[in-house]
Amino acid sequence: MSRTIYLLAAYDGTEFHGWQRQPGMRTVQGVLEDALRRVLRHDVALVGCGRTDAGVHAAGHVSSFATTASIETSKLRHAIGSRLPTDLAVLEAREVHPDFHATQSAVSKLYRYRIHHGQRRPVERDRQRYAYHCWHALDELRMAAAARHFVGLLDFCAMTPVQNRRETTVRRVLRCDVARHGDEVRIDVEGDGFLYHQVRTMAGTLIDVARGINHPDDVPEVLASRDRSRAGPTAPAHGLCLRWVRYPPELLGSPAICEPGLPPAAG
């Protein structure tokens, strides 16, 4: 009998060419599928919750696959883990409802963009791989005021490259929060789905506002223009991390938030 297996993974995206398998490239999907094939003794086609770009990290990336193997999921996690490189880990493996689909079942995702704000590079704190270093003066209050304009069911055409636009560029952003933690400014964006480079372009646009290049109230006009050239630059990939993905509890049989320490999702 076929079973649907849920995998929760974390990875340092620095040495990966993104999530999606690509011929001749080291990708997260490719490494995971190769490990699963060796453990399960059959080919596996992973369905991912999203395709992170090259250099983007994940603390709670979810994928799913079907298998007829009878191995217990607790043993499966350990068996996969022993075959993975040090920059990729499977945090959890469990059998879920047959209707579970890592992409289509997702209710929302949260991405975090980290900005190290200071004159000195973050090497001394071992954060150079995970935070974008910005030495320019930043006003996070202006940034937070601008971030509020990204919340809602909006057309994010101006936040994605022309050549990568989908049939529809309308997406729902549930929250876009800006907070300072010492010398680090964090942008948390939760939404039900994202376009290619959307969050990184939102971050670049907010950085321009924080630097005084644009005004917080310019954001609605930028979005209304649907013109990519009106938005800020695409912020570097290494500052971005997929923190968690939310799913309906009935498809998982347990709390649906992927990041440890967060409350269960509402039903």
Residue 160 belongs to domain with CATH number? 3.30.70.660
Of 105, 128, 145, at which residue does a domain stop? 105
Number of domains the chain contains: 2
Ramachandran region, residue 55 (left: φ > 0; alpha: ψ -120 to 50; beta: rest):
left
Distance between CA atoms of residues 58 and 218, nearest Å = 31
The region of weakest confidence among 148-152, 156-160, 167-171 is 167-171
- Residue 84 and residue 14 share a domain: yes
Range of the domain at 35: 3-105
Burial of 164 (0-12, 13-18, 19+ CB in 10 A): exposed
Asked if residue 259 is part of any domain, the answer here is: no
The region of weakest confidence among 45-54, 116-125, 169-178 is 116-125
Residues 6+ apart with CB under 8 A from 138: 115, 117, 185, 207, 210, 211
| Residue 13: alpha-carbon gap to chain centroid | 11
Residue 53 is a catalytic residue:
yes
- Residue 121 and residue 85 share a domain: no
CB 30 within 8 A of CB 79: no
Asked if residue 249 is part of any domain, the answer here is: no
Asked if residue 258 is part of any domain, the answer here is: no
- Using pLDDT thresholds of 50, 70 and 90, give the confidence band for residue 120: low
Asked if residue 184 is part of any domain, the answer here is: yes
Strand ranges for the chain from DSSP E: 3-11, 47-48, 57-67, 88-96, 108-117, 132-134, 152-155, 170-181, 184-191, 240-246
Tens digit of each residue's pLDDT (9 = 90 or more) over 166-213: 789 999 999 999 999 888 999 999 999 999 999 999 999 999 999 999
The region of weakest confidence among 7-11, 42-46, 95-99, 258-262 is 258-262
Asked if residue 177 is part of any domain, the answer here is: yes
- Using pLDDT thresholds of 50, 70 and 90, give the confidence band for residue 259: low
- Residue 222 and residue 129 share a domain: yes
Q: Name the token pair of 222.
A: 């930028």
CB 211 within 8 A of CB 203: no
How many CA atoms lie within 13 Å of 241's alpha carbon, on the beta-carbon side? 23
Q: Does the pLDDT value for residue 257 go beyond 50?
A: no
- Residue 73 and residue 14 share a domain: yes
Burial letters 113-137, b for 16+ CB under 10 A, else e: bbbbbeeeebeeeebeebbbbbeee
Q: How far is CA 110 from each of CA 32, 236, 240, rounded to the nearest angstrom? A: 22, 18, 11
- Using pLDDT thresholds of 50, 70 and 90, give the confidence band for residue 265: very low
Q: Does the pLDDT value for residue 254 go beyond 60?
A: no
Q: Choose, from 43, 53, 155, 192, the residue flagged as catalytic.
A: 53
